Chains A and B, each alone.
Chain A
Amino acid sequence: MSALGETTVARGGPLRSLNALAKLAGPVPVMIALVLTRGVPLPLAFAVFAALVLLVGARLGLRWILVILLGVPAFAAVLGVSFGIWVDPATLPADAAGSELVLAQLGEWRFTGAMYLVGLATALRIAAIILLAFVSGLTTTGAELVRALVQQLRVPYRLGYTALAAMRFVPRFGHELEVIRAARRVRGVDRGRGPIAWLRGTVGLAVPLLASAIRHAERVALAMDARAFGAHDSRTERTISRWRRRDTVFVLGFWLVSALLWWAVETAVA
């Protein structure tokens, strides 16, 4: 979210002052566990949990509060339909909840409540994972993450800071792509439909974009070399990334609350 610029979506709040790695270490195991779940209640509970952590822990603008409270739920509801219509009713048990409820009908094909619930479970898992990713994504800058990776995890600085420099290419290529698209429209080569025309068009875009990307990367590399990047085994860190007690507390607390929540939901459903 915030790889560019030294600002984050969050304008402040306790999450801003945590180490970037703490904000990853807390949610990531939960995100992985959620991938393996089924059903609606667990992802729903964790989506609500992540939203609460964000709303309490980060000072967000109105736009992002609306994204979290309305945007993500609406996204999950719609995505649930898209996933649901692909569910094969034959694979569902006959007594599955909602199988009597017909939401839509097209000839012989029926979209039942049971199908929607299966789709919704998948959509909610995605929504919960997105919200958990927001916990660090909306409150961490790219530079903070790289500093934490280099200073705490001992990732080689050449890798970390090169990745950061490469992030600056993104808006440039976006602009370049726009120009190339316009140029191809002028030349009349954007005609044709279907996968083959699409493939040809994409390859046609890729050649000039790659040529320019490689040239740009070479120039940036020369400029970095000329400023002694990579000359020594370490470099001065002007900003020290610290792992404080509150980071440990946050990670352990996040895990503990998550485990309790998981257990509570599982027992309530059973």
Chain B
Amino acid sequence: MPDAPLLQLEGVRIRHEGAERATPDGVDLVVRPGEVVLLLGPSGCGKSTLALALNGLVPHSVPAELDGRVLVGGLDTREHRVGELSERVAMVFQDPDAQVVTNTLLDEVCFGPENLRLPVDEVLERAERALKLVGLWERRADDPARLSGGGRQRLAIAAALAMGSPVLVLDEPTANLDPAGIDEVYAVLRELASDRDHAIVLVEHNLDAAADLVDRVVVLDADGRLVADGPTREVLTGRAEELAALGVWLPVSTLAALRLREAGVAIEPLPITPAELGAALDAAPTLPAPRDPAPAPAAAGAPAVPPVVTAGGVSVRRGGRRGALVVHEVELEVPAGDFLAVVGVNGAGKSSLLQALAGVLAPAAGRIEAAGIDPATADAASRSRAIGYVFQNPEHQFVAGTVAGELEQALELQGVPASERAASVASMLERFGLAEAATRHPFLLSGGQKRRLSVGTALIAGAPLLVLDEPTFGQDRERAGELVALLRELNDAGTTVIAATHDLQLVADHASRVAVMAEGRLLGVGPTAEVLAGPLIEQAGLRHPPLARATRGLANHPEWRAVTRWAQLPAPGGRA
């Protein structure tokens, strides 16, 4: 049935103020009632910018130049204001904190309808319906700040639904959430998608969560041009190789199946969810033996290597002497050369433990020895010779006016004379790919460059131990991949790495050991394969990474049940 289009884009090109080229560049798109559309593309392709154009924020509120036409329910966005268009297109943004404007959940959801000047009865009716749909009606009197990240993002969805618009646009709604929050948000989206009352346009990197609820996929290439538009399965599986080459992250299950195909296992059709991959593997009469590349060195020789970090009975308080205990009596030993991932849901105490290990916070009780010093009492110079600490947001730790200045400052702290600093700074810039940016202000770097610089400043004093707090949080897969490759390289060269993270596939692929935390306690530490195979992940309220989810339940190939890492898949080009 040819419904009238809710959204119609004709040759849309958007150039941000000061940008040289337009991204997106010439996009035609039609969205009809009830459709659930996933918008994909490598980072920098302009998919978030395109999302902002769907309700007129581009060009009305964001300084950018719009060519072509965007029609919302037949209205040209150039000629109608955002307020008017908001009745036709509602939007949910990435950062749950930056969308809350009132003091209670009920006020928050009423805020939009009130702005539309609806009668009080209807405002309340819409608010109730929207809050019930996302499961927050019981908490309507609470302050939104008391919700978890996932809860606040559900609230943002309710606030968007209360606008009563037939189209819902979500711009990376789960990029800032922990795995539990991602599940919460997707449970709500799944329900919305199956109701078919709204057309949904979803911009998302996390294809493993999104793939099974969308019916159509639209792909932009790195230049912002439309390269694919069709039913989900057709695009994701039919053109998988092409998309992978574009730098689009496919679902892990699809990528794994592609790898198996190359190794000679016939998997047809390509799976897009772990369950489908599992079923396809079970259906295969024979599978090549999984590769078991030598586990990372620390896992094999853990007892023999002297520990670089020893923590005994460590407890940490937040908010001063009388603050709440957020870490309880942690016992932890980290052998030199280890790559230890600390996992747990938000609020499990990961950051606090890491900060205590690195001397950012003094523990309330217990003793810590890290790289030969007591981090709580050491002075800044000797601490930074022993431990490099990288904050979640690199901007927080920049102190100088130039990139080179950042690195120099770290050497100055060590008392290195000015004449000897230049050489070390130059080699560090070279090593982290920042030589061309040496004279720029650190705040003007790209996201990936900022991250590399923060790691560089943490290591230039020669620290053998690098501690990172959620280094991949809020970043897309490409940036996350770059950073992990850098950490891998440093770890191979002998640096001990301790990182808190939510990304369990990343953990599976790179960490030699995993520490699992829940409610401030360390549930357990062990080699990655053992932890991922055991019950700790679920006890901590986390979900297994996609590859492990696909292989855990295999009935016909027991030797594949322990496959959790990318490197365990057969090598491309033949039966390994």
- Indicate whether A193 reaches chain B with its CB closer than 8 angstroms: no
| Cβ-defined contact, B384 with A183, below 8 A | no
Chain B residue at minimum C-beta to C-beta distance from A177: B396
Q: CB within 8 Å of B: which of A13-66?
A: none
Chain A positions within 8 Å of B61 at CB level: 221-222, 225
Chain A positions within 8 Å of B120 at CB level: 236, 238
| Cβ-defined contact, A231 with B86, below 8 A | yes
- Indicate whether B111 reaches chain A with its CB closer than 8 angstroms: yes
The answer to whether residues A232 and B101 also contact, given A183-B397, A186-B389 and a CB cut-off of 8 A, is: no
| Most chain B CB inside 10 Å of its own CB: which residue of A184, A207, A226 | A226
- Indicate whether A110 reaches chain B with its CB closer than 8 angstroms: no
* Category for how many chain A residues contact B: 35 or more
| Cβ-defined contact, B360 with A182, below 8 A | yes
| Cβ-defined contact, B113 with A226, below 8 A | no
Instruction: Give complex CA distance A216, B141 in Å.
Output: 25
- Indicate whether B485 reaches chain A with its CB closer than 8 angstroms: no
| Cβ-defined contact, A222 with B83, below 8 A | no
Instruction: Give complex CA distance A8, B110 in Å.
Output: 22
Chain A binding surface SS class:
helix
Instruction: Give complex CA distance A61, B391 in Å.
Output: 40
| Cβ-defined contact, A187 with B395, below 8 A | no
Q: CB within 8 Å of B: which of A181-195?
A: 182-191
| Cβ-defined contact, B409 with A189, below 8 A | yes
| Cβ-defined contact, B98 with A226, below 8 A | no
Q: How far is the CB of A64 from chain B (nearest CB, A)?
A: 19
Contact stretch, chosen from B89-97, B337-345, B505-513, B560-568: B89-97
- Indicate whether B117 reaches chain A with its CB closer than 8 angstroms: yes
- Indicate whether B446 reaches chain A with its CB closer than 8 angstroms: no
- Indicate whether B402 reaches chain A with its CB closer than 8 angstroms: no
Instruction: Give complex CA distance A171, B319 in Å.
Output: 13
| Cβ-defined contact, B82 with A225, below 8 A | yes
Instruction: Give complex CA distance A183, B388 in Å.
Output: 11
| Cβ-defined contact, B396 with A228, below 8 A | no
- Indicate whether A234 reaches chain B with its CB closer than 8 angstroms: yes
| Cβ-defined contact, B93 with A186, below 8 A | no
Chain A positions within 8 Å of B383 at CB level: 186
The answer to whether residues A222 and B93 also contact, given A6-B104, A186-B389, A232-B115 and a CB cut-off of 8 A, is: yes
Chain A positions within 8 Å of B443 at CB level: 207-208, 211
Chain A positions within 8 Å of B65 at CB level: none
Instruction: Give complex CA distance A137, B478 in Å.
Output: 50
Chain A residue at minimum C-beta to C-beta distance from B461: A188
Instruction: Give complex CA distance A207, B112 in Å.
Output: 33
Instruction: Give complex CA distance A172, B156 in Å.
Output: 18
Instruction: Give complex CA distance A21, B60 in Å.
Output: 37
| Cβ-defined contact, A172 with B86, below 8 A | no
Chain A residue at minimum C-beta to C-beta distance from B95: A219
Partner of A236, one of B90, B118, B355, B410: B118
| Cβ-defined contact, B391 with A183, below 8 A | yes
Q: CB within 8 Å of B: which of A217-235?
A: 219-232, 234-235
- Indicate whether A72 reaches chain B with its CB closer than 8 angstroms: no
By a beta-carbon cutoff of 8 Å, the part of chain A in contact with chain B is 4-6, 141-143, 161, 164-165, 168, 171-172, 176, 179-180, 182-191, 204, 207-208, 211-212, 216, 219-232, 234-238
7 further A-B pairs in the complex, CB-CB below 8 A; given A216-B98, A238-B110? A4-B103, A142-B103, A182-B360, A187-B397, A226-B82, A232-B116, A236-B115
Q: Which 10 A-B pairs have CB atoms at the shortest separation, nearest pair first? A: A231-B83, A188-B380, A219-B98, A227-B112, A183-B397, A165-B101, A228-B115, A223-B99, A236-B114, A228-B86
